[in-house]
């Protein structure tokens, strides 16, 4: 039996808050009320149950909420669990990388990946670079982005110089 091409899902739940305060972003420093967090956790659990049950289908999943997901433990746990399913070929998340990276030790690095964004006004360059280097050491696939403002160009060039060539910047 031939399997169909993977179903590619861009997942956005109710989460719409972020721990950063970027002046250009509508989700900056927005605090999610407990009801929204509960709804987000429940939505993610339903989604994960759907993916787990649909083992007849291959998946590629990108978590890109309206805010920062990986500061929430349920997103980290979902990435770990989904990434270990044989029919999930890729599970990735867009993140500012403000959370720790130790949780990735439990992830299947063949399927888990990150799309990290550097925010010069929110985190010091050496701290962000150290987190990126921890991803390299752990063998986690990731790409790095930065908001395309003119004043960020020097940071983008520096990131390109400071990260291994296999990391897309």
Give me the pLDDT at residue 31, please.
Answer: 80
pLDDT of residue 1: 55
| Packed helices 73-83 and 34-53: angle between N→C axes, nearest 10 degrees | 0
Return the closest-CA partner of residue 61 out of 50, 32, 103, 96.
Answer: 50
The pTM assigned to this predicted structure is 0.93
Contacts (Cβ under 8 Å, ≥6 apart) of 36: 14, 15, 16, 17
At 164 the pLDDT is: 97
- In the predicted model, residues of the chain with pLDDT beneath 50 are none
């Amino acid at each position: 039996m031939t399997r169909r091409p993977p179903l590619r899902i861009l997942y956005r739940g109710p989460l719409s808050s972020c721990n950063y305060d970027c002046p250009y972003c509508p989700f900056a420093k927005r605090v999610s009320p407990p009801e929204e967090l509960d709804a987000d956790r429940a939505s993610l659990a339903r989604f994960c149950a759907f993916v787990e049950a649909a083992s007849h289908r291959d998946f590629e999943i990108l978590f890109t909420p309206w805010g920062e997901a990986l500061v929430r433990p349920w997103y980290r746990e979902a990435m770990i669990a989904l990434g270990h399913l044989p029919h999930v070929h890729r599970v990735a998340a867009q993140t500012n990388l403000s959370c720790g990276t130790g949780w990735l030790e439990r992830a299947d690095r063949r399927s888990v990946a990150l799309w990290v964004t550097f925010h010069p006004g929110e985190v010091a360059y050496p701290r962000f670079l150290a987190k990126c280097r921890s991803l390299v050491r752990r063998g986690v696939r990731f790409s790095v982005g930065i908001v395309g403002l003119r004043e960020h160009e020097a940071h983008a060039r520096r990131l390109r110089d400071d990260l291994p060539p296999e990391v897309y910047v």
